[in-house]
Amino acid sequence: MLSKRTWAVMLAGVAVLMLSGCATEVKRIGVEEVKDLSGNWNDTDSRLVSEEMIRDSLSTGWLTRHEQKSKKAPTVIVGNVRNLSHEHINTRTFIADLERAYVNSGRVDVVASKTEREGLREERADMDLHASETSRKAAGNEAGADYMLMGTINTIIDASGGEQIRFYQIDLTLVSTVDNRKVWTGQKKLKKDVKDAKFR
């Protein structure tokens, strides 16, 4: 006959084994590694689409025309990218990827977004009160944007049984802030074949 203490030790051991069997397993993977789990828009789509579309925008005539006319690099602000797709897409990460691709190109200057500018203006106002005269930054010296980039993300879903074809269309437009002229329009399409799709 087993003692109460022996039973307690055995039960504790079984509990430990059961809990360890249910433990979450985490494996780190490279940031550049492509891993599609659900078939939804993901970090790889965001990065590749932004890099390709910015490359395309910099290879067209608007940039040369601006440089010849102004004798300097254009200043761009990345505006709103609307998610009109069927799924939740964090457009902030896509906008950040677009900004990064522009900045890293070295061909254009990129100015802060509306939200970022508000934070900077608060900081300058605080400097007026608290920073030394030699280090404070005066208001009224912000760089205005020559162009605004804006766009949309759309999807079309074709489903039958457990298979889906997910079609993504990303449209971007670069617009002159002087006269609202569209100086560049770009489009990128992605198509994914998703087997055993559990949701639309």
Give the pLDDT band of residue 5 (cuts 50, 70, 90): confident
Q: What is the pLDDT of residue 11?
A: 72
- Confidence label for 200 from pLDDT (cuts 50, 70 and 90): very low
Q: Report residue 154: phi and psi, to 5°.
A: -120, 155
* Spans of all domains in the chain: 39-194
Query: Is the pLDDT confidence value at 194 over 90?
Result: no
Of 19-33, 141-155, 184-198, highest mean pLDDT: 141-155
Write the CATH number of the domain with boundaries 39-194.
Answer: 3.40.50.10610
Q: How confident is the model at residue 55 (pLDDT cuts 50, 70, 90)?
A: very high
For the cut 60, the answer to whether the pLDDT of residue 1 exceeds it is: no
